[in-house]
Amino acid sequence: MPTWKMSRRALMRASAAAVLAASAAGRGAFAATAGTPRRGGILKISVNARADSLNPMKPKSSAGHMAVELLYSGLTRIGTDLSAQPDLAESWTANDQATEFTFRLREASFHDGSPVTAADVVATITAIRDPASASPGRTSTGPIAAVEAVDDRTVRFRLDGSFADLPVVLGSVYTKIIQAAALADPAALETRPAGSGPFLLKEFDPGRILSVRRNPAYFDPERPYLEGIDQLVYPDATGEAAALINGDTDVLLEVGIANFDRLATTAGIVGERVATGNFLNLVMRVDTRPFDDLRVRRALAMSLDREALVEAVLEGYGRPADDSIIAPEASLYTAPPKAVYDPAAARQLLAEAGYPDGVEATLYAAAVPPLRTTLAVAVKEFASQAGFRIEVRTVAMDEYLANVFRKAGFYVGSWNMGVTQDFWYNTLLTSKGALADSGWSDPRFDEVIAAARRTTDAAERTRLYAEAQALVVSNLPYIVPFFLDRLAARRDYVEGLALHPLNQPYQLDRVWLGEGAPARQE
Amino acid sequence: MAEGWSRLARNPAGLTGAVILSFLLLVIVAGPALAPYDPTTFHLTRRLEGPSLDFLLGTDQFGRDLLSRILTGARPAVLFGVGATALAVLGGGVAGMASGYVGGLIDEVAMRALDVVLAVPGLLFALLIVTVLGSGSANAMLAVAVSFLPGFARLARAGTLSIRERDFVAAAIARGEAHGYILRREILPNLMPPIVVEASVRVAHALMIGATLSYLGLGAQAPDSDWGLLVAEARDYLFRNGWLLACPALAIGISALGFNLLGDGLRDLLNPELDA
């Protein structure tokens, strides 16, 4: 495999480091680098699918998530460093076992002027936990046993087990606080918001436009800076890019890798890029030949040049990962040992495992996202140096879910970054994980993950997660070749756009329009 | 026979088709040997380049040589078209002849059933079959064959109906020949000209439907260098390296044109009435 120049990757690392530094320093640092926020103006933002529902509890398209974030507030927000930050709750405390949390609410009001009270929080959380709600928030909010209003502005959560991450997961888009009275009519919530968010709904024409205007009674006297936001639907990626180039829209939040350079070099458009923990993984079922042998899994891992994969599959828009599903952006992170690239040693290892003449394997990839097939083709080519003869099979998504996921011995997975380390570890890798798909299980691993849930001491939790990660990386149920970057583009007058390592939140209440913005006042 | 070739040579469309197909035949036989590189080898320092002396048609997103990929893709593309058509001719021909020769209620039922299938557009029908069978080149070929089958069956039946009324068939029956003999020796030879003409045009269709199915991800699978797949992969890079899209698309177009022109030429050649 030929080598190539390092300049682009060096540049990439530098920019990723800059992003990390900015997120560590938080909001203050961001504002300082980008000038003083200005008030006013309507931001036009494009989305590729309509906002299907405005009900915070329902699963939604990303446009729907964005709308809910504009219209509702949660108890907490998830900061760019993935820590819990105050939103409706101005402070909170937990007991030592992390089984009881008390949140203190700030003075805030719903869009109709009535105050946000503890009773609204209790009603919302109760509704989410009702199985009838079918809310994704029901399972992701941890083992909540009871939630009660201590007084008008104090809420107490009692948990069945320890769950130190509660304040973080309560910042999710599914746990926005809904006015208690509005919960009686879930159908109305689809189109009529009952929240306390930074923007008020002005117009909602699904499939065409969602228009919001500044909430003058929002509890933060400073934000939002914008007078309003128009979310416009462009189902076709080419049309969406053209709209940004023509100046019909100001922000394009999901830019494909192949289009990014072209957009970013267009005059008046700035490319935005942030490192995320979104990843693709090669799942090698540890109960299926030939990957039931750890030496075969390690041989495959050693045959892959991660830097080259980032370049070939992601065109440089990502970072090599070292087989841990936890990205450096996660809180309580410890770096795993660097993955070794050594095809000769890999071939040797394969011979020791009883495959001196190489080994055959079929690698399945779902057709969506297409990156899965691209990775599979690249892996086939790289791994052939170590003696792997891989056949790539691309299958439709429904076939993938029915016959490949959790069943086939070797396939490409694709996941977004988890809010907490606990989330993906508990979902994918513990013995009872809801989506555990590698066949690997280790009682010690389960124990460590449970222990990390029990303690609120950050240093101890960091140590525990490091141990869990070491167990995963040494047993190698997955090969995680890289973490993806998120790519977006904005007109150069759009300031304060802070891309998050998670797919949500969008943090549009921090955006303002600077010099050169078109006058779109009403 | 010699007269046939000279007549083909005097027919510009047929001649052009024959020339294109001769060239295609060369590529099919020798393509992989002519390819300057292994079609799956990555040249990661030379990704998405335009044509150069090293890479005559440029490189794709992995730095694979486009010329090599197109040359190795010719064999599966053409074999797909020819294979699918051959299957359809075989199946449709036998069914049509049998149905036309037997006649009566069986013929009636069989033809109405085929009418139903014919009413569904070919590509849609092929898509349906591939969806049921699962994606892959073999399944796609089968799907195209099945969707072509009713057309050939109709053609064969129509021919059989008219031929079986001819005197030489009546004579054969009078001689007491077996049905199999009559079908093979009396009817089939007279059926062949229209079927050969139809088949040569159909190959072009099959080739394009095959490329379409691969383009949609239902036919050949990555990292094959199937032409339709090459076009599909090039979509994302349209603005960065247009050659990636243009070259395989041209290859598909020219090959289909070759079969079409040859079909036209053959029709003129095999249809004595046009000779007047």
Nearest of A179, A181, A206, A160 to residue A88 by alpha carbon: A179
Min Cα–Cα distance to chain A from B215, Å: 12
Mean pLDDT of chain A: 89
* Per-residue three-class SS string for A277-327: EEEEEEEECCCCCCCCCHHHHHHHHHCCCHHHHHHHHHCCCEEECCCCCCC
Give me the mean pLDDT over the B157-171 stretch.
Answer: 91
A392 chain-B contacts, CB cut-off 8 A: 221-223
Distance from CA of A393 to the nearest CA of B (A): 6
The answer to whether B75 faces chain A, any CB pair under 8 Å, is: no
Q: What is the pLDDT of residue A435?
A: 87
Q: Could you say which of A262, A370, A377 has the minimum Cβ distance to residue B223?
A: A377
- Do the beta carbons of residue A411 and residue A405 sit within 8 Å? yes
DSSP 8-state code for residue A507? -
Distance CA A319, CA A336 (A): 14
Q: Where in chain A is the domain with CATH 3.10.105.10?
A: 8-24+278-484
Residue B133 contacts A where some CB pair is shorter than 8 Å: no
The pLDDT score that the predictor gives to residue A522 is 61
Average pLDDT of A508-519? 90
Instruction: Give me the count of residues in chain B.
Output: 276
Confidence of residue A338 (pLDDT cuts 50, 70, 90): very high
Between A6 and B72, the more confident residue is: B72
Mean of pLDDT over chain B: 88
Q: Are A70 and A212 in contact (CB under 8 A)?
A: yes
- A457: CB partners within 8 A, 6+ apart: none
Alpha helix (H) residue ranges in A159-305? 166-169, 186-189, 237-246, 257-264, 294-302
CATH 3.30.1360.30 fits A28-51+193-274+493-513, yes or no: no
**What pLDDT, on the 0 to 100 scale, is given for residue B3?**
66
Give me the mean pLDDT over the A128-153 stretch: 86
Query: Residue B168: in which H helix or E strand, if any?
Result: helix B167-175
Residue A2 to residue B45, Cβ atoms within 8 A? yes
Q: What is the pLDDT of residues B200-255, one digit of tens each?
A: 889 999 999 999 999 988 888 878 889 999 998 888 888 888 999 999 999 999 99
* Domain harbouring B140, CATH code: 1.10.3720.10
Rounded to 5°, the CA angle A322-A325-A329 comes to 90
Alpha helices in A141-205 (DSSP H): 166-169, 186-189
For residue A234, which amino acid is it?
Y
- Partners of residue B63 in chain A, C-beta under 8 Å: 312
CB atoms within 10 A of CB A415: 16
Give the Cα separation of B25 and B30 in Å (integer): 8
Nearest to A498 by CA among A76, A11, A78: A78
Chain A residue nearest residue B232, CA to CA: A370
- Phi-psi region at A405: left, alpha or beta (left = phi > 0; alpha = psi -120 to 50): beta
Residues on chain A touching B240 (C-beta within 8 angstroms):
258, 261-262
| CB within 8 Å of chain A, chain B residues 224-263 | 236-237, 239-240
Residue B6 lies in a domain: yes
Nearest CA in chain B to A307: B44
Min Cα distance B2 → chain A (Å) is 49
Q: Span A335-361, mean pLDDT?
A: 95
A447-471 exposure pattern, b = at least 16 Cβ within 10 A, e = fewer? ebbebbbbbbeeeebbbbbbbbbbb
Residues of chain A with CATH 3.40.190.10: 28-51+193-274+493-513
Cβ neighbours of A374 in B, within 8 Å: 61, 222
The reply to whether B47 falls in a domain is no
Number of domains in chain B: 1
- Interface A-B, measured as beta-carbon pairs within 8 A, has a size of 58
Which residue in B55, B64, B239 has the most chain A C-beta atoms within 10 A of its own C-beta, making it the best mutation to test that interface?
B239
Six-digit token pair at A45? 């933002």
| Selection from B34, B27, B30 nearest residue B68 by Cα | B34
Helical spans, DSSP H, in A72-159: 118-129, 137-140
Helix B137-163 × helix B104-119 angle, to 10°: 140
- Measure in Å the smallest separation between the Cα of B39 and chain A Cα atoms: 11
Q: pLDDT per residue over A19-64, tens digit each?
A: 444 444 333 334 334 578 899 899 999 998 888 889 998 877 889 9
Range of the domain at B150: 2-41+52-275
B40 interaction partners in chain A (CB closer than 8 Å): 381
Q: Which residue of B has its CA nearest to A3?
A: B45
Angle at A392 between CA A389 and CA A398, to 5 degrees: 150
Closest CA to A194 of A110, A69, A76, A73: A110
Which chain A residue has the Cα nearest residue B41?
Answer: A381
pTM here is 0.82
Both tokens assigned to B209 = 């439907």
Which residues in chain A have Cβ-Cβ distances shorter than 8 Å to B242? none
Q: Which of B67, B61, B55 is nearest to B250 (CA)?
A: B67
- Could you tell me the CA-to-CA distances from A26 to A86, B4, B221 in Å, in that order? 13, 83, 46
- Tens of pLDDT, residue by residue over B66-116, are 999 999 999 999 999 999 999 999 999 999 999 999 988 999 998 899 888
What is the average pLDDT across B150-161?
93
- Say which CATH topology domain A8-24+278-484 has: Dipeptide-binding Protein; domain 3 (3.10.105)
Where do runs of H (alpha helix) occur along A130-274? Answer: 137-140, 166-169, 186-189, 237-246, 257-264
Q: Which residues contact B96 (CB under 8 A, 6 or more apart)?
A: B152, B153, B154, B155, B156, B157, B158, B159, B160
Q: Are A452 and A429 in contact (CB under 8 A)?
A: no
Cα separation values, A102 from A92, A147, A196, A437, Å: 5, 10, 21, 36
CB of A10 within 8 A of CB of A307? no
Helices A27-34/A7-25 angle, 10° precision:
120
Report which residue type is found at B37: Y
Q: CA-nearest residue of chain A to B235?
A: A258
Chain A closest CA to B237's CA: distance in Å? 6
Q: Do A378 and B239 touch (CB under 8 A)?
A: no
Question: pLDDT tens for residues B41-70?
Answer: 888 888 888 899 999 999 998 899 999 999
Q: Which fold has domain A73-190?
A: Dipeptide-binding Protein; domain 1 (3.90.76)
CB contact under 8 A, B222 and A259: no
**CB-neighbour burial class of residue B12 (10 A; exposed 0-12, middle 13-18, buried 19+):** exposed
β A388-395/A359-366 pair status: parallel
A399 interaction partners in chain B (CB closer than 8 Å): 134
Distance from C-alpha of A246 to C-alpha of A181, rounded to nearest angstrom: 44
Percent of chain A with pLDDT over 70: 93
Does residue B81 sit within a domain?
yes
Please name the residue of chain B whose CA is at the shortest distance from the CA of residue A263. B239
Contacting residues of A for B221, CB less than 8 Å apart? 392-394
B44/A308 CB distance under 8 A: yes
Which residues in chain B have their CB less than 8 angstroms from residue A380's CB?
Answer: 223
Asked if residue B46 belongs to a domain, the reply is no
